[in-house]
Amino acid sequence: MKTSQLFRHSRLRLAVWYTLVMGVILSLSGLGIYRSLVQSNWKAMEREIESIAGTLHDSLEPMLPPSENPTTVLKRILPELCLVGQPCHSNPSLIERHTTGISDRNTYYLRLFNHQGKLLAFSPNQPDNLSQTLNPEPWQTITNNGIRYHQFTIILHSSDTHDLAVNSSWGYLQLGRTLQPFDAEVQRIQIILMLGFPLVLTSVILSSWFLSGLAMQPIYKSYQQQKQFTANAAHELRSPLASLLATIEAILRIPPSQPQDLTKMLHTLERQGRRLSHLVTDLLFLTSLEGQSSSKGFQSCCLNDLVSDLIEEFSELATVAKIDLIEQIPDEEIYVLGDESQLYRLVSNVIANGIQYTPKKGQVFVSLKTKEDTALIKIKDTGIGIPQEAQKRIFERFYRVDSDRNRKTGGTGLGLAIAQAIAHHHQGDITVKSQVEKGSLFIISLPYRGSIIT
């Protein structure tokens, strides 16, 4: 219960961290996108204003009079403009549309100032209550009656003033536009971000919870395996220790007049001690294999000689068990890079298992061959086989398909776990195919280094 609670809390903390990190990233990304969109729209708008102002400037400047009283000329050049101090009647004509219809007249307005900054003329659609005094700044943003406007001011020269030494400026052209469409677009982007961010954040929260669950799965599985291993190791150690203590207590009760009983119990004590020693040695060996990540110290090993030696070693055991031990080794020498003593133990563990769980008059086949870049050692027996549901677990530490049969043969349940650890340490693998009452096939695959290594 406490363990499950601990993992739930860990998953929750991990999901919270995922959410916080992704939330910060999304917030910064959203802010960057928002600023980029607003600035790009603002720059595009200013480029459009500059383009229209430049077109008007180039059209008006050649016709501007040098006189200080250009009312008549301005009225002829721009009939639509309203002159300061005179009634303003807007009656667009073809000429007006051609002159000032470069862009939407509801969006843009035009004003003309003399070189002293005095307003001379303006378009009828200019905002009310605008200052009639010129601000010579090229760009201005003003607010009038709650509406924002952006203005661009450019200098005008008449055709007759270019030769004058003093004050060659005729006046100023000021083009402005309302920012209502721009502000509406900015507001639309803000609404999209405000509505979209909670949805995206909700998706991030759900994804974080899902991903944290995926991240915790291997940790939880590893914890369960470690927990199971600890329980199994404690059980395996407890049995020989209990037997040792019981034997010692029995020895202490034996009277001196019965030395033959003492000798028998000492043999039992020795046997239990050796079993405990083997168990501890195997556990330390597994731990050392897991701690080794490199192939430092590996040497060239001939699998032909290794398998032949093992066949010779196990032939007597197979004869006593009335089992045929058959070998199939090619003439071509097959070499791998590895630790010979570890490879010896890897193959011997599998052969020993095959002999132990094969009934009398059965057979154990050991073959060696290569396939592409892999050396394959196959150990096939005609033994009792392994159930399908147990085949996925037989390489776990202390796992026994049938605990009774392992007790009888003196096994600790570490033989195949050690075999797999050695195979993985050599960048290889070991797999099993089995059918109950028909036998098992173990395949050891190791990286093939060639037939001749110098």
- Residue 203 CB contacts under 8 Å (≥ 6 apart), including other chains: none
- 10 Å CB burial of residue 349 (0-12, 13-18, 19+) is buried
Q: Which two tokens stand for residue 145?
A: 């009656």
Question: Which CATH topology does 299-447 take?
Answer: Heat Shock Protein 90 (3.30.565)
Is the pLDDT reported for residue 95 higher than 50?
A: no
Cβ contacts of residue 201 below 8 Å, gap of 6+? 19, 23, 26
**2-188 CATH pick, 3.90.650.10, 3.30.450.20, 3.20.20.120, 3.40.1410.10:** 3.30.450.20
Per-residue pLDDT, averaged over 140-156, amounts to: 90
- Please state the rounded mean pLDDT for residues 110-136: 85
Task: Confirm if 63 and 77 have CB atoms less than 8 A apart.
Answer: yes
Phi first, then psi: what are they for 357, rounded to 5°?
-105, 20
With a cut of 70, say whether residue 268 has pLDDT above it: yes
Eight-state DSSP code of residue 398: T
Q: For residue range 37-86, list pLDDT tens digits in order.
A: 999 999 999 999 999 888 888 887 777 776 656 666 666 777 777 887 77
The token pair at 95 is: 């000429």
How far is C-alpha 208 from the chain's CA centre?
Answer: 12
User: Reduced to 3 states, what is the DSSP secondary structure of residue 168?
Assistant: coil
Sign of CA dihedral 222, 225, 231, 232: negative
Q: Look up residue 340 and give its amino acid.
A: E
Q: How confident is the model at residue 410, as a pLDDT?
A: 54
What was the pLDDT predicted at 409? Answer: 53
**Nearest one of 349, 353, 343 to 425, comparing CA atoms:** 343
pLDDT of residue 453: 45
Instruction: Dump the DSSP string for 94-127.
Output: HHHHHHHTTS-TTTEEEEEEETTSBEEEE-TTSP
Is the pLDDT at 266 greater than 70, yes or no?
yes
Specify the pLDDT at position 101: 46
Check residue 167 and give left, alpha or beta (phi > 0: left; psi -120 to 50: alpha). left
- In the structure encoding, which two tokens stand for residue 15, read together? 């999901």
Q: Would you state the pLDDT for residue 371?
A: 87
- pLDDT tens digits along 412-423: 678 888 899 999
In the prediction, which pLDDT does 351 show? Answer: 93
With cut-offs at 50, 70 and 90, classify the pLDDT of residue 451: low
* Residue 34 phi, psi (nearest 5): -60, -50
User: What's the mean pLDDT when you consider all of the chain?
Assistant: 82
Greater model confidence, 98 or 272: 272
Higher pLDDT, 118 or 167: 118
Per-residue pLDDT, 404: 45
The three-class DSSP label of residue 91 is: coil
| pLDDT, mean of residues 295-324 | 89
Summarize the confidence of residues 75-104 as an average pLDDT. 61
Q: Whole-prediction pTM value?
A: 0.53
* 379-401 average pLDDT score: 85
Label residue 365 by pLDDT band (50, 70, 90).
very high
pLDDT of the residue at 106: 72
Domain spans of the chain, in order of start: 2-188, 299-447
d(C-alpha 267, C-alpha 53), whole Å = 111
Rounded to 5 degrees, what are φ and ψ at 111? -140, 145
More confident: 317 or 169: 317
User: How many angstroms separate the CA atoms of 372 and 385, rounded?
Assistant: 29
DSSP E strands in 27-85: the ranges are 82-83
Task: Tell me the average pLDDT across 20-27.
Answer: 90
Does residue 181 have a pLDDT over 50? yes
392-413: average pLDDT:
66
Lowest-confidence segment of 290-294, 316-320, 409-413, 446-450 by average pLDDT: 409-413
Q: What's the CA dihedral at 281, 287, 291, 297 to 10 degrees? A: 30
DSSP state of 84: T
> Which tens digits make up the pLDDT trace of 205-217?
999 999 888 888 8
